[in-house]
């Protein structure tokens, strides 16, 4: 069975602070995919990144960066110099590598960035 744990239920920061959202996963698949989604207050789910299990390189996209470590089964997400617009619920998700594509979501981390 697959499992995604986002231990941080809610994080509050002040604008311009850096913040890291943790994601730990469990899977028996040797091939799998990890995702992050953002859900702003407006409610839609926005895709941020997909990473496959064979690619452990960290990724940076503007103020966003992701740290994938298979040794600790973690796929953490860092926002540098946070902004109020980053306030949202962030979901980490896992997809198995066999069969069809289904996503197992974590419970989400609510990030509140104050001015």
Partner 1 sequence: DAGVIQSPRHEVTEMGQEVTLRCKPISGHDYLFWYRQTMMRGLELLIYFNNNVPIDDSGMPEDRFSAKMPNASFSTLKIQPSEPRDSAVYFCASCAFSYNEQFFGPGTRLTVL
Which residue, among 11, 7, 8, has the nearest Cα to 111 in the 3D structure?
Answer: 11
Residues touching partner 1, count (CB under 8 A): 21
- Could you say whether residue 103 binds partner 1 (CB under 8 A)? yes
The tokens of 3 are what?
A: 């499992």
Asked if 86 and 22 count as a contact pair (C-beta separation under 8 A), the reply is no
38 binds partner 1 (CB under 8 A): no
Binding of residue 102 to partner 1 (CB under 8 A): yes
DSSP structure class, residue 72: G
Residue 109 interacts with partner 1 (CB under 8 A)? Answer: no
d(CA 32, CA 96): 5
| Smallest separation, CB 51 to partner 1 (Å) | 11
84 contacts partner 1 (rule: CB under 8 A): no
- How far apart CA 83 and CA 85 sit, in angstroms, is 5
The residues of the shown chain that bind partner 1, judged by CB under 8 A, are 33, 35, 37, 43-47, 50, 52, 91, 95, 97, 99-103, 105, 107-108
């Amino acid at each position: 069975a697959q499992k995604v744990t986002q231990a941080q239920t809610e994080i509050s920061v002040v604008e311009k602070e850096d913040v890291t959202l943790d994601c730990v996963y469990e899977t028996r698949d040797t091939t799998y995919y990890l995702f992050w989604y953002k859900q702003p207050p407006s409610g839609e789910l926005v895709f941020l990144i997909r990473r496959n299990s064979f690619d452990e390189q960290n990724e940076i996209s503007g103020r966003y960066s992701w740290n994938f470590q298979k040794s600790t089964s973690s796929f953490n997400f860092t926002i540098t110099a946070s902004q109020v617009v980053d306030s949202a619920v962030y979901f980490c998700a896992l997809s198995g590598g066999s069969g069809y594509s289904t996503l197992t979501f974590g419970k989400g981390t609510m990030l509140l960035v104050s001015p």
